[in-house]
Amino acid sequence: MNLLTGKLKEVLQSVLPIVIIVVLLHFFITPLPGSYFGRFLIGALLLIPGLTIFLIGVDLGVSRMGMVIGHELVNLGKFWRFAILATFLGFLISIAEPDLHILAGQVEQGTGGLVNTFQLVIYVSIGVGIMIAAGLLRILYRKSIKLLFLTIYLIIFVLSYLANNEFIAFAFDASGATTGAMTVPFMLALAASVASRKKDSIASESDNFGLVGLASGGAIMGCLAMAIIMGNPKPEAAELIQTEAPRSFFEPFLVSLGESAWHVAVALLPVIIAFFVVNFFKAKLDRRELRPIILGNIYAYVGLVLFLAGVNGGFLDAARVIGRELATHSQVIILVVGFVVGLVTILAEPAVSVLTHNVRDITGGSVQRRPVLIALSLGVGAAVALSLLRILIPEAQLWHFLLPGYIIALGLMPFVPDLFVGMAFDSGGVASGPMTATFVLAFSQGVAIAVPWGDPLNDGFGIIAMVAMTPLIVLQLLGLLYKLSARRSRTAEIADLQEFPTLSAGEVEGPVGFAAMTEAPEEISFDLAVEVCRVELQVDADGAADDNENGGNDNEN
């Protein structure tokens, strides 16, 4: 019950800000037609229990499966066997992600069939599989995460130069879509399991993060490689298809429930099958240990289906109408509302909650959820505002924002602790989940449709790429602040130690050292322990000096 109430409270804090923003926009700036507003409220009612149940399922089932599989992968021993199986597992995780299939379908529709769904999913999943293996091998053989990220993004820059602008947008959007609500918890658990085998606790802490970011980089490389292999064709924007109005109020929810049930089943089944194969041959968990894992997967399935039904059935159309109506107002209002929408939408992303809890648990509370959430919210808010600015300025191109952004992100790496580098690149993939792929994307599409010079293909894709980029910068800046704060704290502690008085043995009365501390253990602090150690060392030194002096006098006698 405590787990349920805790998750429900957390979800309410995440979802209610979005509901409040839309309600305020509805009554004061962009009135929604009655059916749209009603479906939005119904969607919120589905989203809240869905996200709550999903997060409970992640704790009970998905994360535990990742830990078990990661543990058995490490026990394989041989390099080539580990690399092949890790690549296959990464491919399997990516090809089953619902968000990737949704994006691939949108790309196929937007390009008039030039890029088909199956083709994009396969190329992206190959890239993800290779980078998952590289990330796990990096943890196992203790290689630098900063050097690996630098190498990957240099390759991406070269491939981007060889590909055309449309495929760049597809590729960077795919980097966010492939790390969705199902894959992120599994990847985080996989990395944690492999990192836990290391004896160095500090290195193990930082190695828990970075695998999701590497998977995102693999998705970009896979899509860009596809463009080059295809001969770099120039896709043309397909005509927007105007769908018929729903025949009933609840029809969008019923349709979405059916589609979501299928997509989530496709996402869960390969991972569940892989887990039971590993358990049958290697892990051999008993029924008592398997029961919560099975129950957790059922919870995760039901929760994610309800969540996606609420988002697709109620949030999607409302966001598109808000964006379209907002485009009739001044550009300042558009940018401000876009910033606020991005600011609050990130709080409702399922994988964001999983990541921030992992950050808190793995660091033992030294990095709390609140500053990470604040940094992510500010970053995503800025990303949405910049994406809308790109739509409002006809001459602006996606690479005008992505290139300097990634240069800044890579330039910050040498000055930031490894823990925050991995956390930042993971956050880039985590931030661009189903809420971004639906509500934020639909919102920006609504603006692009209403703007006379808007291009559905160029402007419709790229916002996920922007959302995936900004956390790389803001989380590393947060890490830099932590580093400077820790340095100031150490300087202050050293200064305090230098001010401690030097006591001789004759000046110490009563119980000495740790014997004195045991008389009042509730008053023990770090500073007190340091002072006691200093006193004991001084007492020992004075005692030794007295012994030497007495020994010398005895010799003289």
User: Cα-flanking dihedrals φ and ψ of residue 255, to 5°?
Assistant: -65, -45
Same domain, 473 and 552: no
The distance in angstroms from the start CA to the end CA of the chain is: 80
Residue 245 in any domain: the answer is: no
For position 198, what pLDDT does the model report?
66
Same domain, 550 and 411: no
232 Rama sector, left if φ>0, alpha if ψ -120 to 50, beta otherwise: left
Same domain, 394 and 530: no
Residue 77 in any domain: the answer is: yes
From 435, 458, 491, the end of a domain falls on 491
For position 385, what pLDDT does the model report?
92
Same domain, 397 and 520: no
Same domain, 508 and 447: no
Domain count for the chain? 2
From 491, 521, 540, the end of a domain falls on 491
Burial class, 150, CB count within 10 angstroms (exposed 0-12 / middle 13-18 / buried 19+): middle
Contacts of 409 (CB under 8 A, 6+ apart): 424, 469, 472, 473, 476
DSSP 240: P
Same domain, 487 and 521: no
Same domain, 317 and 466: yes
Report the SS3 class of residue 333: helix
Residue 497 in any domain: the answer is: no
Contacts of 529 (CB under 8 A, 6+ apart): 517
Q: Are 251 and 309 in contact (CB under 8 A)?
A: no
Residue 205 in any domain: the answer is: yes
Residue 496 in any domain: the answer is: no
For position 464, what pLDDT does the model report?
81
For position 542, what pLDDT does the model report?
47
Same domain, 389 and 509: no
Closest CA to 268 of 303, 317, 233: 303
The two structure tokens encoding residue 543 = 């005692």
From 491, 521, 539, the end of a domain falls on 491
Alpha helices in 209-330 (DSSP H): 211-229, 251-278, 287-310, 316-326
Same domain, 386 and 510: no
pTM over 0.85: no
Same domain, 460 and 552: no
The secondary structure element, H or E, covering residue 184 is: helix 183-195
Residue 194 in any domain: the answer is: yes
DSSP 397: -
Task: Mark 3-25 as b/e (b = at least 16 C-beta within 10 Å).
Answer: eeeebbebbeebbebbbebbeeb
One DSSP character per residue, 344-388 reads HHGGG-HHHHHHHHHHHHHTTTSS-HHHHHHHHHHHHHHHHHHHH
Same domain, 156 and 132: yes
One digit per residue, pLDDT tens: the chain, 557 residues? 677 888 888 788 778 888 898 899 999 988 988 788 999 999 989 988 998 898 898 888 888 888 888 888 878 767 788 888 889 888 888 887 777 877 787 788 777 778 888 889 899 999 999 999 999 989 888 888 899 999 999 999 999 989 887 788 888 888 877 887 778 888 888 888 888 876 655 556 778 888 989 999 999 999 999 999 988 787 765 544 444 556 678 888 998 899 889 888 887 888 899 899 989 988 889 889 999 999 999 998 999 899 888 888 888 888 888 988 888 888 899 999 999 988 888 877 777 877 888 888 877 777 888 888 888 889 999 999 998 998 888 888 888 898 899 999 999 999 998 888 998 888 887 887 767 767 788 888 888 888 887 776 667 677 888 888 888 999 899 889 888 888 887 777 676 666 655 545 444 455 444 444 444 444 444 444 444 445 444 444 445 445 554 555 554 44
Same domain, 193 and 236: yes
The two structure tokens encoding residue 236 = 């043309």
Q: Are 213 and 425 in contact (CB under 8 A)?
A: yes
Residue carrying the six token digits 């900063």? 146
For position 5, what pLDDT does the model report?
86
Residue 247 in any domain: the answer is: no
Outline where DSSP puts E strands in 416-477. none
Domain carrying residue 514: 504-556
